[in-house]
Structure 1
Amino acid sequence: MKLKNKLILSGAATMAALFLGMNANAARMDMVDVSNNNGYMSTAEYVSMRNEFGVKALTVKISEGTTFKDGYAASNIANGQAAGLYVNGYHFAHYKTKAQAIVEADFAGKTAKAAGLPVGAVLATDVESAEEQGILSQAANDRNNAAFMKEIQKFGYRADIYTSGSWANNKMTIKGKTGWVAGYPYVMSGQKWYTNNNAWQWSGAAHFRISYGDFDVSQLYTDYYTAGQKSTVKPTDKGAVKANNQKANKNTFRPYASAKWVKETKTYTLKTAVKLHTGASTSSSAITIMPAGTTVKTDQAIIQGGYRWVRQPRFYGYGYLATGSASNTLEYVNSGVTHTYYTVKSGDSWWTIAQRNGLSMTTLASQNGKSIYNTIYPGQRLVVR
């Protein structure tokens, strides 16, 4: 779950300083979610998160599609419960039809039962795949999500939807007092985000004292993710909780650095029809709509506004097109460069694939427009050469 909606505001540094100084509206680390990317997490780590950072709830990755079962789900559930946290789960969705959604819900429910997720916990559907739900209408996604959530309740779990702020009430409907929404602003300026929803995931790069790597953390606005399971365990070091939350906010809500154009001479062949804009912004006017199969030669590229843009020299000036989201540079176009691909299999990780192909994990992830903390799933194609 690494979705980023970046907010660019004027006077960013001043507002960040005011926000951090007051700390009245500092985003809290109420809930953390973990998956196989975080590796084995001990009870001691969850106790530290609770006592020193104020974490109340844990949401564990359970499954993905119809074949992937997170190998760490059972230990994360057991160790999180032992630490006194409210424990929930989530399923990464690949469904594109109502029938597929029901099949995935059955798979997720059975996998959650086998991993020990307690009845009454939330089992959310994580809907963020650009290649799957991203190409569907809002009505189709609403229909599919409703089918998944109705089916998951048959296993005794409570349902919810996780998605990005840019998709909420755009790609799918997220009603008030529902939903777990991700949005990573660079500057808070004192306001709260997604207060009408159950939870706001505000960072994908939080650090905990005795745990390795980056973690997704969320602030809770309702008791939906802490209901149905009793816990009387409270943080033991309130001073540390305040200081650690301040530090996490400072590291996350940093002033926005202006993006820069870089030289990139490439030839792209469009996989689908794409708008050519007058500027590198989705709000800029469209020059034309280029049909699938069009060859586009570019000279520069930039990442801004949540997208990766390329510039096309034209007879009069330039045209601009988005090649995909900032974290997925191959969403809409194929480069003319020939690549070697590897199809992810069950049990694979960034490390095993990188080792097999003589790469470092960070190199493998970056050349696929991702980080080593992004989830990979069976059937996904990765560039390895």
Structure 2
Amino acid sequence: MKLKNKLALTGAATMAALFLGLNANAARMDMVDVSNNNGYMSTAEYTSMRNEFGVKAVTVKISEGGTYKDPYAASNIANVQAAGMYINGYHFARYATKAQAIVEADFAGKTAKTAGLPVGAVLATDVEAEEQNNQSQATNDRNNAAFMKEIKKFGYRADIYTSGSWANNKMTIKGKTGWIAAYPYVVSGKNWYSTNHAWQWSSTAKFRISYGGFDVSQLNSNYYTADQKSTVKPTNKDAVKANNRKANRNIYHLAASAKWVKETKTYTLKTAVKLRTGASTSSNTITILPAGTTVKTDHAIIQGGYRWVRQPRFNGYGYLATGPSDNTLEYVKASASHTYYTIKSGDSWWTIAQRNGLNMTTLASQNGKTIYTTIYPGQRLVVQ
């Protein structure tokens, strides 16, 4: 899952340092989520995560929409269980209506059963797609409730994964529910989302024998570790502490390194977007730009979990988010001409690279990503 959210305020470096100074334990790596984008994950890799990093639970991608089944779900489930950890699953939601939510829940439940997800595990709905962005909060609440009610018929426990910026904005996330993604480009020294089940705080965590960056979460309740048997605990407590501190330092580095780059572009908005006084979801709204508006921008930055662009105005500047942080800066000149490919359900780095005569690493690199970055249908990639 790569949402990856969140919240942006000013003084990121100062606040990040405050976080590390006040919270001696820092954020914990209690849970990892994986999908086909991580490739095949062995039992040895999961055992290392448990023993050296303190990972308690793994949540694996099961399905997406009404047709896509993650090809690594079954092996991930089996290998996590062999490592003695708790196992859960998630479904990437594409539903926009109650009827579609029920259909997707039935598909996800059947797919999870076939893949071996045990009864009692959590099967969360991952709600972050354009389909939900175009709905009202009331509609998303209705659809999410329908999905979760249906998923329980398969013996699974339900939950919602979404970003901090969508929680109680695009959908209602009550206390003692929810798995919230909010990357600490700015943090407060407090445990974020302490009243929710889990807080996903990084998408770039590194593990010793596993290649690439991973999504990691801190568990604030036992919801993702309940109703299943965990047979083994970490064997190297000193390594767990050291590795968690290192992971938090890496987040601090990312927070401090964000910078504006020149980018002259013209956007035509597909949906209404708030134009703000600063590059932050907490900044005041200047106006709401309706769908179809043409916006000319001169700079861009990734911070607070979003990709922001700056619009010159007669009396200063306006700022708007063009997407989540995985909508990476392209660093291209205005005169450059590129061919883009829009990702479809079932695509992978390998299939897109093969279709366009490219090496996977080259394709990922020219889009500012790695082959282990999760990609989603609807995103665009530069292919030449």
Which TM-score tier does this pair reach, normalised by the shorter chain?
A: 0.7 to 0.9
Q: Tell me how far 1:321 sits from its aligned partner.
A: 4.1
Conserved? CA contact 1:13–1:254, under 8 Å: no
What is the distance in 2 between the residues matched to 1:13 and 1:315? 32
What is the distance in 1 between the residues matched to 2:278 and 2:192? 29
Pair 1:117 & 2:129 matched: no
Instruction: Give the AA of the match of 1:203.
Output: S
Instruction: Give the AA of the match of 1:161.
Output: I
DSSP 3-state at the match of 1:162: strand
Q: Which residue of 2 aligns with 1:64?
A: 64
Closer, same or farther: CA 188–266 of 1 in aligned 2, 3 Å: closer
What is the distance in 1 between the residues matched to 2:277 and 2:187? 30
Conserved? CA contact 1:328–1:369, under 8 Å: no
Closer, same or farther: CA 7–269 of 1 in aligned 2, 3 Å: closer
What is the distance in 2 between the residues matched to 1:221 and 1:339? 45
Closer, same or farther: CA 383–182 of 1 in aligned 2, 3 Å: same
Q: CA RMSD in A?
A: 3.0
What is the distance in 1 between the residues matched to 2:369 and 2:170? 22
- After superposition, residues 153-232 of structure 1 pair within 5 angstroms as 153-232=152-231
What is the distance in 2 between the residues matched to 1:371 and 1:136? 32
DSSP 3-state at the match of 2:217: strand
Q: Deviations over 1:119-168 (max 9, x none)?
A: 11110001011x11112111111000000000001111010111111111
Conserved? CA contact 1:187–1:255, under 8 Å: no
- Normalising by the residue count of structure 2, what TM-score does the alignment of the two structures yield? 0.87
Percent identity between the aligned chains?
A: 80
Conserved? CA contact 1:68–1:378, under 8 Å: no
Conserved? CA contact 1:275–1:290, under 8 Å: yes
Q: Deviations over 1:270-329 (max 9, x none)?
A: 33444555555553452x555444444333334445443444445555554443344337
What is the distance in 2 between the residues matched to 1:176 and 1:164? 15
For structure 2, the residue ranges without an aligned partner over 5 or more in a row are none
Closer, same or farther: CA 104–253 of 1 in aligned 2, 3 Å: same
Instruction: Give the AA of the match of 1:89.
Output: G
Conserved? CA contact 2:167–2:173, under 8 Å: yes
- After superposition, residues 248-259 of structure 1 pair within 5 angstroms as 248-254=247-253, 256-257=255-256, 259=258
Q: Which residue of 2 aligns with 1:108?
A: 108
Q: Which residue of 2 aligns with 1:88?
A: 88
Q: Which residue of 1 aligns with 2:36?
A: 36
Conserved? CA contact 2:349–2:364, under 8 Å: yes
What is the distance in 1 between the residues matched to 2:293 and 2:48? 54
DSSP 3-state at the match of 2:255: coil
- After superposition, residues 1-385 of structure 1 pair within 5 angstroms as 1-2=1-2, 3-8=4-9, 10=11, 12-13=13-14, 16=17, 19-20=19-20, 24-129=24-129, 131-254=130-253, 256-257=255-256, 259-277=258-276, 280=279, 283-286=283-286, 289-314=288-313, 317-328=316-327, 340-344=339-343, 347-361=346-360, 364-365=363-364, 372-377=371-376, 382-385=381-384
Instruction: Give the AA of the match of 1:240.
Output: A
DSSP 3-state at the match of 1:241: helix
Conserved? CA contact 2:5–2:304, under 8 Å: no
For structure 1, the residue ranges without an aligned partner over 5 or more in a row are none
Aligned residues: 378
Closer, same or farther: CA 251–161 of 1 in aligned 2, 3 Å: same
Q: Of the two, which has the highest radius of gyration?
A: 1
What is the distance in 1 between the residues matched to 2:91 and 2:152? 14
What is the distance in 1 between the residues matched to 2:202 and 2:361? 20
Instruction: Give the AA of the match of 1:5.
Output: K
What is the distance in 1 between the residues matched to 2:278 and 2:223? 42
The 10-residue stretch of structure 1 (97-106 or 351-360) with the greater mean CA deviation from structure 2? 351-360
Conserved? CA contact 2:16–2:255, under 8 Å: no
Q: Tell me how far 1:359 sits from its aligned partner.
A: 4.0
- Compare relative contact order (CA 8 Å, sep 6+) and give the higher one, 1 or 2: 2
Q: Tell me how far 1:188 sits from its aligned partner.
A: 4.0
